[in-house]
Amino acid sequence: MKDIIVIGAGVVGCAVARELSKYKLDVLVIDKNEDVAEGISKANSGIIHGGYNEKKGTLKAKLNLQGNKMMDELADKLQFPFKRNGALVLAFNEDELERIKLLKSNGENLGVEGLELLNKEEILALEGNINQDVVGALHVKSSGIVSPYEMTLAFGENAVENGVEFRLGLAVTDIKREDKGYKLTLSNGENLEAKMVINASGLGGAYLNNLISEVKYEINPVRGEYCLFDKVAGAMCKKTLFQVPTKLSKGVLVTPTVDGNLLLGPNAKSDNSVSTSRSGIDEIMETSKKTMKELPFNRVLNTFSGLRPKVESEDFIIEEAKDNPNFINVIGIDSPGLTAAPAISTYVVDLISDKIQLTKKDNFKSTREKMIRMADLSIEEKNKLIKENPAYGKMVCKCEFVTEGEIIDSIKRPLGATTLDGIKRRTRAMMGGCQGTGCMIPISMILSKTLNIDISDVNKNSKSSTVVGFKED
């Protein structure tokens, strides 16, 4: 019997797992996907929010502020890319100007630091490509950008280094309460037992709760579509540029990414599909012109969409199920869930501290070494590495300058990649101009050889997404 089973290997589940790994506990993380960060955590804006837009007294407001303040130290210790680039909430008329003044007042009331109102001249001095019709802006100095999947991987890898077990590609199909805890049935027919269950399964959170509790929840997914531009367009702005938020979302933004691309989106549609639509992408493009008139739409690399797990209360639900002791729900973690994730993890551990014995480890490893990125190294560093391991001298992805050595490393690391998308998120291979046209097959061959599987068993992301689809004689 496990001490704790965490269901869900997104950013919240991995952050909780890392926090639990500080203690002498037998912890298992389960996820239905073949990799961590395959759900909500891979497809979002990657924004570390300042927190000015939340409601006082909510968990969102409290944990957003706490999570934001934790980010610098975590990024340093766990070596994931994070930039505190700041944000501007732009007003283009007098009504919007009054609304950003209210946002400033609300933010200050919540304890958000570094908020200031800027006039047109001050805005254009910071961001010269903004629409000249701008009349004012709220400058949010504490806002930042992060790679959401690299942040998730960092939490997950560090949890593994500290003894947490991960089992991926297995869905929980049933949960039953027993005398000493809970029995979970998995999609492969296997049964597991745990003294405590933490339900951090994103869009599946309500379903899992409803399997066992008389208190029912419902998640209403909201789809957001995005346009990703290349790194030439990435130089168009330094700060994250918001329009005045709506009830459904913080609005269509224009932002640089930590990797140097430009990102536009999202819109907000009540929908559980992760497809993109011509009308949705047109909507994003048209709406974003309010922020920047001269966006280079010929530089779009890709479009994608992600889902936000909205709940009726419009606040995070983080609590023990009222009729099931030691079943902890972490439900409805939509925006600002990415920002709040590290604070959610400490909140959950505080919540369970009087329910299960927590004894701190003497040997907890608080740091994690990032992957080698050949593109970021000096000539001297590259030559030294290639001399030690010639695989680092064999270029595979020419668009993003990713080598065979980096791909093999991504497979052999803790929580190593087992799919093409897993390699993509860890190395940026296939994220450049050709979007994998030139390197997908060579990477599949490296994956096949390293994992000792037939190339026909190499998948893009799930077991039904075969890349090559034939067996060699």
In this structure, is the dihedral angle defined by the CA atoms of residues 378, 382, 385 and 387, taken in order, positive or negative? negative
In this structure, what DSSP letter does residue 355 have? T
CA dihedral (309, 314, 318, 320) positive or negative: negative
- Termini Cα distance of the chain: 45
What angle (nearest 5°) sits at the alpha carbon of residue 105, between those of residues 262 and 223? 40
Name the token pair of 257. Answer: 């990414």
Reduced 3-state DSSP string for 193-249? EEEEEEECCHHHHHHHHHHHCCCCCCCEEEEEEEEEECCCHHHHCCCEEEECCCCCC
Please state the φ and ψ torsions of residue 222, each to the nearest 5 degrees: -120, 125
Q: Retrieve residue 432's tokens.
A: 């450049």
Q: Are 361 and 355 in contact (CB under 8 A)?
A: no
Which active-site residues does the annotation give? 49
d(CA 245, CA 90): 10
CA–CA gap between residue 203 and residue 184 (Å, rounded): 18
- 192 secondary structure, DSSP code: E
Alpha helices of 358-451 — where are they, by DSSP H?
379-388, 404-412, 420-427, 440-451
Instruction: Write down how long the chain is.
Output: 473
Residues 6+ apart with CB under 8 A from 57: none
CA 50 to chain centre: 17
Angular region, 114: left φ>0, alpha ψ -120 to 50, beta rest: left
**Residues of 396-410 as b/e, b for ≥16 C-beta within 10 angstroms?**
bbebbbbbbbbbbbb
